[in-house]
Amino acid sequence: MTRIAIVTGGTRGIGLCITKGLIAEGYKVAALYHGNEEAAQKCAADTGAKVYKADVADFTACQDVVAKIEAEMGPVDILVNNAGITKDGMLHKMPEDSWHAVIETNLTSCFNMCRAVITAMRDRKFGRIINISSINGQKGQLGQCNYSAAKAGMLGFTRALAQESAAKGITVNAICPGYIATEMTAAMPQEVLDSIIRQIPAARMGQPAEIADMVVFLASDRAAFV
């Protein structure tokens, strides 16, 4: 039986590598995206994934897109909450909308998407939920009160949902990447990147495929006790 996976933010960056990694392992993937049509269509053409446009910060949109995926592809076995944005700035200068946009896209989306799939997973007594948090949710980061708060919130959410779900055959885990070479980090000033790399023991940034490999493991039957 081929398992169905949803990857939010699944058409670019880390999400695209997760989509590719799952497809390589035989999963059917629904890759969600918000606005970049060109990247979405390229993802579909290059990987064979089905792409769906949805605003994961919107509860009803998440309910609707999951219903559409289930109608077209089948029951959802794996959910990867990867969608995320940054709107960096020092807190004393941060506009209110920058706070809400990051919290809703990075954290509220986890509730929205999990709420849309969890009942059916419980009924079938199987599921894999993998939340992509961040090292900055653990240690904080200058200019990222909104992002760090959202990513820290994902960790509490993950731990609580894991306890609720384990007896139903559903694992819930989070991955906290360090600094990964993506479009998001490429937009940072070079001097900032250089200072970050100096603090990384491996003396380099991570690669998206290295995160994807961990997702593939956590989605597998081998991770049933994780």
**Residues annotated catalytic, as ranges:** 147
Which residues pair with residue 174 across a beta bridge? 131
Q: What are phi and psi of 209, to 5 degrees?
A: -65, -25
Selection from 121, 117, 104 nearest residue 56 by Cα: 104
Identify the DSSP state of 180. Answer: B
Helix axes 208-219, 13-24, angle to 10 degrees: 50
- How many other C-beta atoms lie within 10 A of the C-beta of residue 187? 9
Query: 3-class DSSP state for residue 135?
Result: coil
